[in-house]
Structure 1
């Protein structure tokens, strides 16, 4: 009976738990060193991804997290995006070669989410998975089931 009372007292605290705030360095194992990228603006391999199979942090699998970054749209319409890549800096995967796969997150929102400006950083909140995803643009080390977005301030 005492355990039931304690659990009932803790329930409101558990329901309001905040997602774990992560930053890009948290997504790479401590001993991971990405090779230096040489940008070749026009060569045959100018958009080749460095480290397409970079190691991920397995302990993050299944965690509810919040990550800041920039959006590279993949699927959606004029009002909402249903799929996008979250990257650590503006222009990644578009104007410069993609970062290592452990520095890109594939994000999916079942019903879509409005993104006001692709030029501004945002926070993305969701459940992180350590499952690889590959597309035409890059290979990605993480997937995120989106819950919400907010401005990065």
Structure 2
């Protein structure tokens, strides 16, 4: 199976390490910069800009590992059980928020320790092509998280 820039061979238990650009359909990639950030024209009305955010249905059900920043949604002072994963620090605070294919809703039932979530991390789990509308943003993907790992940029 070919996923965007890189090529991966998929086996039932193999984990795909994805970059954010891999979540964007080929037909929309020209609307993003080389870092996977939406190319926003600040001189025009935000509401009139072209709509991006399509998903890649062929990724549904894949076990993946993807780096990102956490925006906590549910949990307590010690553990976060639901959060948004975004490709860059401060996403969802800026206007406009990233498109739906650049925000992942993560369900992490066993809870991730809050102190592990301040810097970029890897989230590992099963990716679903499922839309979630939250007051902060709309997401195009959901991860049923099984593991949080320290980010290494090697």
The TM tier, using the shorter chain, reads: 0.7 to 0.9
| Corresponding residue number in structure 1 for 2:82 | 83
The C-alpha deviation readout for 1:84-118, integer Å capped at 9, x for no partner, is 00000000012453111100100001121113254
Distance in 1 (alpha carbons) for counterparts of 2:57 and 2:17: 16
Moved more, 125-134 or 17-26: 17-26
| Corresponding residue number in structure 2 for 1:37 | 40
Which is greater in Rg?
1
Inter-CA distance 51–147: structure 2 relative to 1 (3 Å threshold): farther
| Corresponding residue number in structure 1 for 2:6 | none
| Corresponding residue number in structure 2 for 1:109 | 108
**SS in structure 2 at match of 1:113:** strand
Question: Which stretches of structure 1, 4 residues or longer, exceed 6 Å deviation after superposition?
Answer: 50-53
Would you say how many aligned residue pairs link Structure 1 and Structure 2? Answer: 133
Distance in 1 (alpha carbons) for counterparts of 2:51 and 2:144: 21
Structure 1 spans left out of the alignment, 5+ residues: 1-13
How far does residue 52 in structure 1 lie from its aligned partner after superposition? Answer: 7.1
Distance in 1 (alpha carbons) for counterparts of 2:72 and 2:50: 22
The TM-score with structure 2 as length reference comes to: 0.76
Distance in 2 (alpha carbons) for counterparts of 1:151 and 1:23: 16
Structure 2 spans left out of the alignment, 5+ residues: 1-10, 33-37
Question: Structure 2 matches for 1:2-151, cutoff 5 A?
Answer: 17-32=13-28, 33=31, 36-38=39-41, 54-151=53-150
